[in-house]
Chain A
Amino acid sequence: MKVLLSWLREFVDVPGSAEDIARAMSVRGFAVESVEEVGTEDAVLDFEVTANRPDCMSTVGMAREIATAFGLPLKARADVAPPAPAATADIDIVLEDELCPRYVGQVADVTVGASPDWMQARLQACGIRPISNIVDITNYVLLELGQPMHAFDLATIRGGQIRVRKARAGERLKTLDGQARTLSADMLVIADAADAIAVAGVMGGADSEVSPGTTAIVLESAYFNPLSVRRTSKALGLKTEASMRFERGADPHMPAVAMSRAIELLETIRAGRPRSGALDRVRAFKFEPTSLTLRRAKIEGLLGAAVPDEDVERILSSLGFSLVRVDGGWRIAVPPRRVDVVREVDLIEEVARHYGFDRLPVTFPALAAAGRGIDPRISRARQLRSALTGAGFSEAVTFGFIAEAAAAPFAAEGDVVPIANPLSETFAVLRPSALPGLVDAVAHNRRREQRDVRLFEIGARFSRAEGERRALACAWTGNAAPEHWSGSGREVDFFDIKAVVERVCEVAGVAVETVPHEARWLAPGRSATALVKGTPVAMLGQLARGITDAHGLPDDPVYVADIDLDALERAGAGRDLRVEPLPRYPSVTRDISVLVDVTVPSAALRSTIREAAPATLVRVVEFDRYQGKGIPEGKVSISLRLIFRSSDRTLTDAEVQEAMDAVLRALRDRHAAVQR
């Protein structure tokens, strides 16, 4: 709301500069966007008026706040006496709908021309373009009193009637901005005896517009239902100075006051004369102010400071509230313009605003009970963050919505959740995985000379079937071991990303096994799912060529993992951490190399060994795998290290040998393994 200092001073004799006023008001709820000098003497202050304060969308409204802030009286002219209702008029006004509970109309004979320089200058300073003396008067009143007004060319009004009614479904009206608009039956319009001539509270019609040839006008000053104006304005996509005020709630007392002021201006600038009196039509309208109780104890209870009675009374009465002292506080009548004040707390806010937030003491809330601590999933995210950064992964944060094409490969058919009103195609659906966003981030880095990229993200993903779930995504491309003078680097491969998944599972305290599993977004033969006790917790592997191409990545492999944090948490739930006693007897290590078909999974060998060996086998691990010279086609040599240990004795050579014999037998029987 732009307020001209000289105009403001017609309502309050505020001393000091525009900057002084700006400072004082910004700590009373009216941030000042800018202060612009006008000439040498004057200035325009642009106040940010919050949505709950339509009463301050006017010079007089701001003047009332400023008067209260500076402890000054508001000058009497702020309340022009309302016009006496006319006994007869040249026009009939019919309120057909309760959405317009009050309508003041006045016919005037006019000579249309330019408004005087001073009026034009004031409008321009406040950001409104002068149009003609008649239109300028309505805008002048709007800026001064906050009451939107409208002038119709009397000659265009058919049947001598102003009817305020709902639009007929499909009724058409060309508005002042030149747009032909189709109205719907829930919209309130101003009509003459025939058709709509204005969208009530939003914009006038082009056909009834005041033109240079206009000789008589009907001035409108009304109150329209806020919700109705809001809905209409939204439906038409038409936001105007008028609609913004009506939809927040105008002052129901103002239509008559504003009409008087408009007529006064009409005569002052010799633009015309009223014909007979104004018509003040009222329908189902409540004029009594709201009455509220304000308790002294509640003020202190909410603010943490006792505000002296005289301050409470000074502030509220200066703002236009009337107070009567009652036991423990006040009985307060709320002026109808204060649509925001409906409860006791609203009054306390008024007191606090003008008493000064800076005068409150500085205290801390008492801790009445111990808190429930930190959500373990937040703690878990921190542990994961620390484990992954320790493994060279940087954390990414990408958007929760992505393009439909990017999402599709990562979701089952029809499982993607669309956004009903997306900003653009890029943000059209909720992500079914954080991977598409992460892969975009990888591509962004690759395009900027970053060849070795490791990124992870922790966050929600969405599906129709399962709703919102939490996941961890990792992407790795380029070097696994960075180049170093002591030896060349190594490119990332499947077993690097597998180790990352294993590390994440370790953080969650669960052991995983990895089995082959194909997915549309993973390269065939290099894709797997990680299981905890048979339940899938992650998918991992090399990103399919089609996906890397779609994200504009070069041919180097990108290894990725998508880990279901909810599943992982369930799998790891309910574990107690108990230490085991340290071994007291030495272990015995035996290495074997066997030749098997390449199709035999290593996990199968391990599992056979475990089954065949006695309980003293504590560990079995592959330490070499060889194909090539000396190994028949289709075969592979696997070397395994077996470690035996007993908790109650030193193992003898003989019993370890017996165990090894059993292991080799089983490998031979089950996998046709040949010892090398």
Chain B
Amino acid sequence: MPDHTANPSIEELREAFHAQLSSASTDQALKGLNDAFLSRKSGSVTALLKSLATMPPETRREFGQRVNTLKAEIESALDARRASLEATRQPAGAVDVTLPGRAIPAGRVHPLMRVRQQVEDIFARMGYEILEGPEVEDDFHNFEALNMPPDHPARDMQDTLYLGVPIAGGTWGAHTGRVPDAQVRAATLLRTHTSAMQIRYMKTFPPPVRIIVPGRVYRRDNLDLSHTPMFQQFEGLVVGEGVTLADLRGTFEAMLRELFGDVQVRLRPSFFPYTEPSAEIDISCKSCRGAGCGTCKHTGWIEILGSGMVHPAVFEAVGYDPERVTGFAFGMGMERVAMLKYGVDDIRLFYENDLRFLEQFPL
């Protein structure tokens, strides 16, 4: 009879194996484990199998099966551990992909310029010419030709900043192949609206006209939540035979829906000296969907731009025949659009150029 007590029991071996396996986390350790239990020469399981030969036949068969089961169990456990170790191993040259990347420098376009580019694009698609004009102007182009003779009460609507000395205004219209309307008059004031370019353009080119003029304008306003002494405007002018108020309506229904998404658009009679009839254009309030809230002063509508049919006196001032052509003009503040679009409630943010503000706008 062999002395079975001289060998560890099957259960003891199983326990010993699993205990050692749980702490074996390298290839080396797994190989050691394999050798300790399964090596041909010194493996403890191999030793048990060898001991079978000396067993009585009645127990040999049953004992043999149990040892073989343990052997298979150990082999498969080792295989599984080897596979899982293999799976976690980093390939040569591996990097920690969770470390921060090297930042590619990226500045932001100013939100007012974002709005400007968007509006330019919309009108460019509608076939408009886009150009800039001088920021310093003379009284004729800024007021007189726009049906605002000296002492006109409407001049009070736009408190003007005057220059201490007259200077030459900027050039415009280089793309037209010549520099038109040379600065005959020296500039004496900061333009109060981009409408001055209506006059320069019409005095230089015959109808038809279809232009957009974005740019800075200046008023003698104090800085507060909704006013700045300088702001950005869009001027638009369409002149031709048969241009109507209905065309103005159609143009802005399309344009404002593209700019603001799903909004309603309405025209409301108003007064500007250089248009007749004149209309304010409103969009339905998006924050309350027309129910009335603080944003829309409880009217359901938000005033977005001023417009109207070009006053015949303006056509007369530039030498167009008001019996032959009609047209519409409009002016829109970019700050107002940007404030509404982006939920900005203090206009001064646009002029502080705080990077924490600018960087909120996407690239």
Q: Which residues of A contact B (CB under 8 A)?
A: 26-29, 31, 50-53, 226-227, 230-231, 247-248, 301-305, 343, 345-346, 348-349, 352-353, 357-358, 360-378, 382, 385, 388-401, 417-423, 427, 430, 441, 444-445, 448, 450, 453-456, 459-460, 462-464, 466-470, 482, 484-486, 566, 569
Contact = CB atoms under 8 A, between A and B. Distances in A.
A303 B216 CA distance: 31
B130 A378 contact: yes
Contacts of B105: 390-392, 454, 482
Interface in B228-251: 228-230, 232, 238, 240-247, 249-251
Quick one: which of A304, A486, A569 has the most chain B CB within 10 A?
A304
Contacts of A302: 244-245, 277, 309, 326
Contact of A53 (B169, B210, B271): B271
B167 A417 contact: yes
Nearest to A391: B105
B276 A345 contact: yes
B354 A445 contact: yes
14 contacts: A301-B326, A345-B311, A362-B253, A373-B175, A375-B173, A376-B175, A394-B358, A395-B108, A395-B109, A397-B353, A418-B163, A418-B165, A423-B221, A467-B183
Contacts of B229: 399, 401, 423, 427
Nearest to B245: A303
B107 interface: yes
Contact of B127 (A360, A367, A397, A441): A367
Quick one: which of B126, B134, B266, B355 has the most chain A CB within 10 A?
B355
B271 A369 contact: no
A360 B271 contact: no
B344 interface: no
Contacts of A376: 174-175
A541 to B, nearest CB: 21
Contacts of A343: 276, 312
Interface string B145-158: 00000010110110
Given A304-B247, A365-B243, A345 B351 contact: no
A362 B172 CA distance: 33
Given A368-B241, A375-B130, A400-B216, A391 B120 contact: no
Contact of A303 (B222, B244, B354): B244
Contacts of B109: 385, 389, 395
Given A364-B250, A394-B108, 4 more contacts: A31-B280, A441-B352, A444-B353, A454-B105
B270 A50 contact: yes
A368 B238 CA distance: 11
A394 B238 contact: no
Interchain residue pairs A-B with the least CB separation, the first 9: A392-B105, A304-B246, A467-B168, A304-B244, A418-B164, A50-B271, A29-B269, A468-B170, A349-B277
B327 to A, nearest CB: 9
Contacts of A394: 107-108, 110, 353, 355, 358-359
B131 interface: yes
B132 interface: yes
B249 A362 contact: yes
B162 A365 contact: no
B359 to A, nearest CB: 7
Contact of A419 (B163, B246, B309): B163
B294 interface: no
A345 B309 contact: yes
A589 B112 CA distance: 49
B164 A417 contact: yes
Given A362-B250, A389-B108, A401-B230, A301 B136 contact: no
Given A371-B127, A420-B164, A360 B249 contact: yes
A398 B268 CA distance: 33
Nearest to A54: B153
B220 A352 contact: no
A375 B167 contact: no
Nearest to B308: A349
Nearest to A394: B107
Interface stretch (B1-9, B32-40, B78-86, B96-104): B96-104
A450 B171 CA distance: 38
A508 to B, nearest CB: 14
Nearest to B133: A375
A348 B269 CA distance: 12
A440 to B, nearest CB: 9
A303 B238 CA distance: 14
Quick one: which of A248, A366, A391 has the most chain B CB within 10 A?
A366
A466 B175 contact: no
B135 interface: yes
Interface in B310-328: 311-312, 326, 328
B356 interface: yes
A466 to B, nearest CB: 7
Given A401-B230, A454-B107, A305 B246 contact: yes
B268 A357 contact: yes
A32 to B, nearest CB: 8
Contacts of B99: 485
Contacts of A230: 151, 153
Given A365-B243, A367-B210, A400-B216, A468 B355 contact: no
Contacts of A372: 129, 175-176
Nearest to A470: B170
A163 to B, nearest CB: 26
A371 B210 contact: yes
Contact of B110 (A52, A395, A444, A467): A395
Contact of A358 (B170, B241, B266): B266
B265 to A, nearest CB: 9
Contacts of B68: none
B271 A375 contact: no
Nearest to B300: A23
Contacts of A371: 127-129, 210-211
A227 B176 CA distance: 42
Contacts of A460: 135, 170, 216
A366 B240 contact: yes
A304 B246 CA distance: 5
A374 B130 contact: yes
Contacts of B268: 26-27, 29, 31, 357
Quick one: which of A230, A371, A393, A484 has the most chain B CB within 10 A?
A371
Contacts of A367: 127, 210
B279 interface: yes
B164 to A, nearest CB: 3
Given A365-B238, A365-B240, A394-B108, A357 B267 contact: yes
A398 B353 contact: yes
A395 B131 contact: no
Contacts of A28: 269
B187 A467 contact: yes
Contacts of A463: 167
A464 B267 contact: no
Contacts of A370: 127
Nearest to A467: B168
